[in-house]
Amino acid sequence: MSSIRLPGKPLIDLEGIPMVIRVAQQAIKSQVGQVAVACCEKEVFEVVKKYKINAIMTDPNLPSGSDRVYQALQKINSFKNIKIIINLQGDMPTINPKSIKDLLSSLEKSSEDIGTLASEITDKRELTDSNVVKVVIANSKSEGKALYFSRQCVPFGDGPVYHHIGIYAFKKDALYEFVNMKPSALEKREKLEQLRALEGGLTINVKVIDDVPIGVDTQSDLVKVRCLIKGMINKGR
């Protein structure tokens, strides 16, 4: 709610529905498991409850989204039976439910600790945009192990560059291990919490997809998303 560029961001209206609710509804459509919204403000909590979606209050001073997810997880009754936890940010209202399914499926089949998504960059402007996080993937154009994440254009040379999509699936033990790690040097330098996992020895599997959700960080993002939401409604998605 205290976003500088978009004050009140979680509750911004998108075709009559608050943004955080749009995100939760897409998660529910994926049918991968129970959905809960981890809230750190009372007004968001009340709106989520109004839409009859599970809302869980968390400490507003937690250092990262993953810490918030872990704290919320402790309050879910079926905690002991949960094997994989998906952390979907509340500013991705155009996320395709199929992408969430693909993320879960890829981690279930993988020996890695964490799963995430990426897409190949086709707009050259994104190569030099520090707001577009890049991921270096080992060995495969469709799926592989993450070697590094950066706000710079990596790797050097000819070949595809991948845009990291900020949604994560954690095996439960890996999430516990991650939130008990101290912030790492590279994490602080790049301002990317996933580097804490890599520096701490956890492994990350990356699934490459074509359908790229827009994270809403700026007014221009909001304009794009409103147009896309209208299209999604017309298609019944």
Nearest residue to 9 (alpha-carbon basis) of 114, 90, 101, 113:
90
What pLDDT, on a 0 to 100 scale, did the predictor assign at position 139?
86
What pLDDT, on a 0 to 100 scale, did the predictor assign at position 64?
85
Architecture of domain 12-235: Alpha-Beta Complex (3.90)
pLDDT single digits (tens) 57-108: 999 999 888 999 999 999 987 778 899 999 999 999 999 999 999 999 999 9
Nearest residue to 85 (alpha-carbon basis) of 97, 72, 95, 99:
72
pLDDT at 223 over 90: yes
Beta bridge partners, 36, equal: 54
Task: Look up the pTM and report it.
Answer: 0.92
Q: Do 23 and 14 form a contact (C-beta atoms < 8 A)? A: no
pLDDT at 36 over 80: yes
pLDDT single digits (tens) 53-66: 999 999 999 988 89
236 CB-side CA count, 13 A: 0
**pLDDT band at 214, cuts 50/70/90?**
confident
Which residues are CB-neighbours of 33 under 8 A, at least 6 positions away?
82, 86
**Alpha carbon distance 198, 116 (integer Å):** 13
Alpha carbon 73 to its chain centroid, in Å, reads 16
pLDDT single digits (tens) 129-160: 998 999 999 987 799 999 999 999 999 999 99
Nearest residue to 42 (alpha-carbon basis) of 54, 53, 58:
58
Q: Domain-by-domain residue ranges, the chain?
A: 12-235
pLDDT at 9 over 90: yes
**pLDDT band at 184, cuts 50/70/90?**
very high
What pLDDT, on a 0 to 100 scale, did the predictor assign at position 237?
59
Report the mean per-residue pLDDT for the chain: 94
What pLDDT, on a 0 to 100 scale, did the predictor assign at position 231?
80
